[in-house]
Amino acid sequence: MKFRDIADYIFLAVTWGFSFLVLLKAVAAFGWIGVVAFRCLIAAATLWLAAKLLRRKLDFGMGWKPLAIVGATTVAGQLITLSYATPRIGTAMAAIFVAAIPLFSIVISQLWGIERISPTRLFGLALGGVGLVLLVGFPEVPITEEFLLGCTASVVSSFCAAFGSNYAARSLKTAGAWEITIGAFLSGGIMSLPLILAVPVPTTPQPLDYLYLVTLGAVMSALTYVRYFRLVAAIGPTKTISVEFVVTTIAVLVGTLLLQEPLAPVQLMGAGVIIFGCALVLGLVSQRHERTSE
């Protein structure tokens, strides 16, 4: 991986790791539909204005159909179900399901023939799953209907993210990251906005709530997804999606430090296992061996 790829990977991990905390605040004020609709439109508008200010030429010659599919899956599908699930099952459980995205991606990527996964990287993904169990575990909460709905929504969210990323890698190879991000978020926002009629904004948002919303849209969506789709094209969807392992680690640390959630020694060990698994998936550990054998 190039230095730019590693820098983008770290930026995604840190930003999305903190996004769980911001998401909880925004959902409480705007609702689980409203926060996605407004977040998507803010993200699209932010990048479009930035492109105009930077005099960056945008080319949407790929048409709106593939952008709409990515917007319906990676954006609207993933974010709506994640926003629904997180307040119901908690950030820890939500992080567990988010980290399952690479597993879905492997299956889709293999079926579509997008990329071949080496045994070492498969082992790294499996190791990351083991680390998640050690890191987060499962909370002792009643298994209610609300809890089961939240878990189901989380599974759908993970699948949508994996499907959209692989679709973008296959069908939008020649499209720029800015165009994909703007088109996907604009499409996702337009699809989500009418659903507010069924799930209206629950309260009158305060000024701080708007700050949370703008942060989600401009920083944790616009800036991150430009880098995300660039990484998908540069290093492949499965390697890129493996960032969710690190996101889970950071999300749990944020919960521990800011929400006073306890963190046991075995969980610290799990964080180390996850990071090592990611290194295997990204080829960082085996890189020296591969060069030597050439």
Q: How far is CA 64 from CA 8, 109, 181, in A?
A: 27, 23, 12
C-alpha of 236 from chain center: 15
pLDDT confidence band for 84 (50 / 70 / 90)? very high
Residue 18, phi then psi, degrees to nearest 5: -80, -15
- Residue 131 and residue 245: Cα distance in Å, rounded? 9
C-alpha of 206 from chain center: 27
Residue 14 pLDDT greater than 80, yes or no? yes
Residue 177 pLDDT greater than 90, yes or no? no
- Residue 226 and residue 127: Cα distance in Å, rounded? 28
Cα torsion 67, 74, 46, 32: sign: positive
- Position 284 scores a pLDDT of 60
For the residues 165-194, what does the mean pLDDT come to?
89
Per-residue model confidence as pLDDT tens digits over 93-122: 777 777 777 777 777 877 787 667 778 777
- Position 136 scores a pLDDT of 58
Per-residue model confidence as pLDDT tens digits over 126-149: 887 787 777 655 555 567 788 889
- Ranking 122-126, 152-156, 242-246, 253-257 by mean pLDDT, the lowest is 253-257
Residue 282 pLDDT greater than 70, yes or no? no
Per-residue model confidence as pLDDT tens digits over 183-229: 999 999 999 999 999 999 998 999 999 999 999 999 998 888 888 88
C-alpha of 13 from chain center: 9
Question: Crossing angle, helix 78-98 and helix 243-258, to 10 degrees?
Answer: 80
- Position 154 scores a pLDDT of 87
- Residue 164 and residue 75: Cα distance in Å, rounded? 8
- Ranking 26-35, 198-207, 243-252, 265-274 by mean pLDDT, the lowest is 265-274
For the residues 259-267, what does the mean pLDDT come to?
65
